Amino acid sequence: MSADSAAGDDAEVDPVTLEVVRNGCVAVAEEMNANLVRTGYSPNIKERRDCSCALFDARGEMVSQAENMPVHLGAMPFSVRAAVDAFEGDLNPGDAVLLNDPFRGGAHLPDLTLVSPVYDPETLESEDQEPRLVAYAANRAHHADIGGSTAGSVAADSTEIYQEGLRIPPVKLFEGGEVNDNVLEMILSNVRTPDERRGDIRAQEAANETARERVHGMVDEYGADTLESAFEAVKDYSERRMRSEIEAFPDGTYEFGDLLDDDGRGNEDLPVEVEVTVDGDEVGVDFAGTAPQTEGPINAVLAVTSSATYYAVRCVTDPEIPPNHGCYRPITIDAPERSLVNPEPPAAVVGGNLETSQRVTDVVLGAFATEAPERVLAACQGTMNNVTFGGTDPRGSEDTDAGGEPYAFYETQGGGFGGRAGKDGMDGVHVHMSNTMNTPAEVLETAYPLRVLRYSLRPDSGGAGEFRGGLGIRRDIEVRGHTARFSLLADRQQHAPYGLEGGDEGERGAAYLYEDAQAYAAEEDAGVSVGEKLPQKSVHDLDPGSVVSIRTPGAGGYGDPDERSPSALARDLRLGKLSPEALRERYGVDPDELDGE
């Protein structure tokens, strides 16, 4: 079915109706996301909210989004385009297209995107009219396992995409409202936790059905012609505002570079370089000088690189601009082929979506900071600290007296948020491309044969500055009653998050392994490290009782540390965010000098 592409160009929409429709589209996306979270099966969706939803017009251009995961939202239009192109002229009411192929609009394999066409309900009921396409509903959810060499499908040792899980090109998962059982069973036969995957896919279906109902209501209220005209007007409005914001920057080329620590395969100090050129009301972003695509799993496909770039430009402009296709029109991206930010298959890419996307954000923001530091924050933790555990759950279930069910646990870890003009950075939060929640300890321990022994902020990990960088966290997890396969995929353990305007770097991250809880307890009692430092991109088999300790990076500080107010220093000291030793070393202040603050 094709869209009436001219309808949106013929009719004008009055300002009141336009604003009501715009907010209605945002409400649709937000309700989609709420239902996806509410009906999801896995803790990764229900608790961490590692999912995103958006509404697209009949041309496949984004109109509104639920602002959850930046790495999803800027990349999702590539998936919608791939789905529409794959089934051009062959999408019908009740159909839904599923895909995850990073080289066909996806990001990495655990992110499954579901795209559903929405039609004018009046034409669906008419025998004389062809169904008229008015919108697409789309959502992306990170599934805790999609097969591959390692439970959780985030293998830090992968060298090609075939090791990372089941690769799904655009396929019709639903046809005429009915599930394609052959496709679904093919997916479920390739994952470790099929019941959980089935539940999360059904939650994705429910989210798109929510959008279908709400868009039908909008069509009934305003008519398809007015709605399509409003979609065009909303995108044009965002474009005008974005161009106005870009014009406020001085014309010229801003340069910045940073490094990824390694790819886990012995290739170290991998540069991500950028030139941002502002020319009137347009901005070009060129990644020439970035490292070639690499053997390890940190290659970021173009959709991911674009998503991080769009996000960074939005950060330095007006965040109140409605996020849609219009925001992206003034931005052009040049990413060299076969590079770390635009690889060719069969490159391993699972970590590109997670780690390289963060470094792309860091360098684009760093480039803007050379001209407008007041609009930019110091570097955040710059990593997602990806952790997966998998194995056979030794605990009994409702159906069995003994264990035997496979499990796959995945989460990312929060860290420091950069200091910025006027404010300290936030502590222990997910940053930039990752906007999820930390898994609550109670949920983790209930759902998996794991135990959280420690979960705390890391004192002194935030970079010193007039405005301090946010603190990283420490999260120590014990394996209970079974042998677990553990994968760690992290960064910023060699190259620290940068400070701005005289602020200091944030503390780097680290991870340690303890053979058993007794060794772990001995370290806690003695206050000295007896654990084995783990490579930041590595896979391990852990014996029962082993403990993994993840220490995430802090963030960079902003401004001269000598300018930090005594009251702020006293508050940090009182709250345990700053030790007396760090107070003396970093700020040149003795704790006794803060008495009375």
Q: In this predicted model, what pLDDT tens digit does every residue of 167-201 receive, in sequence order?
A: 999 999 999 999 999 999 999 999 999 999 999 99
The pLDDT score that the predictor gives to residue 394 is 95
Percent of the chain with pLDDT over 90: 86
- Stretch 586-593: mean pLDDT: 92
The pLDDT score that the predictor gives to residue 436 is 83
Tens digit of pLDDT for each residue in 129-144?
899 999 999 999 999 9
User: Is residue 528 predicted with pLDDT exceeding 70?
Assistant: no
pTM of the model: 0.93
Question: DSSP letters along 42-108, please?
Answer: SHHHHTS--EEEEEEETTS-EEEE--S-HHHHTTHHHHHHHHHHHTTT---TT-EEEE--GGGT-SS
User: Is residue 3 predicted with pLDDT exceeding 50?
Assistant: no
Tens digit of pLDDT for each residue in 98-119?
999 999 989 999 999 999 999 9
* Torsion sign across C-alpha atoms 340, 342, 345, 351: positive
472 or 88, higher pLDDT: 472
Query: What confidence category does residue 72 fall into, taking pLDDT thresholds of 50, 70 and 90?
Result: low
The pLDDT score that the predictor gives to residue 2 is 39
Query: What confidence category does residue 398 fall into, taking pLDDT thresholds of 50, 70 and 90?
Result: low
Instruction: Kindly provide the residue ranges of all beta strands, DSSP E only, lying in 373-414, ordered along the sequence.
Output: 386-393, 405-411
> Counting Cβ atoms within 10 Å, is residue 149 exposed (0-12), middle (13-18) or buried (19+)?
middle
User: Is residue 120 predicted with pLDDT exceeding 70?
Assistant: yes
CA distance 385 to 474: 11
CA distance 129 to 127: 6
Tens digit of pLDDT for each residue in 250-299?
999 999 999 999 999 999 999 999 999 999 999 999 999 999 999 999 99
Cα dihedral: 441, 444, 449, 452 (round 10): -20
Question: DSSP letters along 502-551, please?
Answer: TPPPPPP-EEEEESSHHHHHHHHHHTS--SEEPPSEEEEEE-TT-EEEEE
Going across the sheet that includes 62-65, the strands are 62-65, 51-57, 133-142, 111-119, 96-99, 171-175, 178-179
**C-alpha separations of 276 from 164, 253, 341 in Å:** 33, 5, 15
The pLDDT score that the predictor gives to residue 399 is 52
What mean pLDDT value characterizes the chain? 93
Tens digit of pLDDT for each residue in 214-240?
999 999 999 999 999 999 999 999 999
Classify the phi-psi angles of 183: left when phi > 0, otherwise alpha if psi is within -120 to 50, otherwise beta.
Answer: alpha
32 Cβ contact list (under 8 Å, min separation 6): 53, 55, 66, 137, 139, 207, 208, 210, 211
User: Is residue 368 predicted with pLDDT exceeding 70?
Assistant: yes
Query: What confidence category does residue 437 fall into, taking pLDDT thresholds of 50, 70 and 90?
Result: confident
Q: Tell me the domain boundaries of the chain.
A: 7-241, 377-564
φ, ψ of residue 366 in degrees (nearest 5): -60, -35
Query: What confidence category does residue 529 fall into, taking pLDDT thresholds of 50, 70 and 90?
Result: low
Tens digit of pLDDT for each residue in 7-64?
334 458 899 999 999 999 999 999 999 999 999 999 999 998 889 999 999 999 999 9
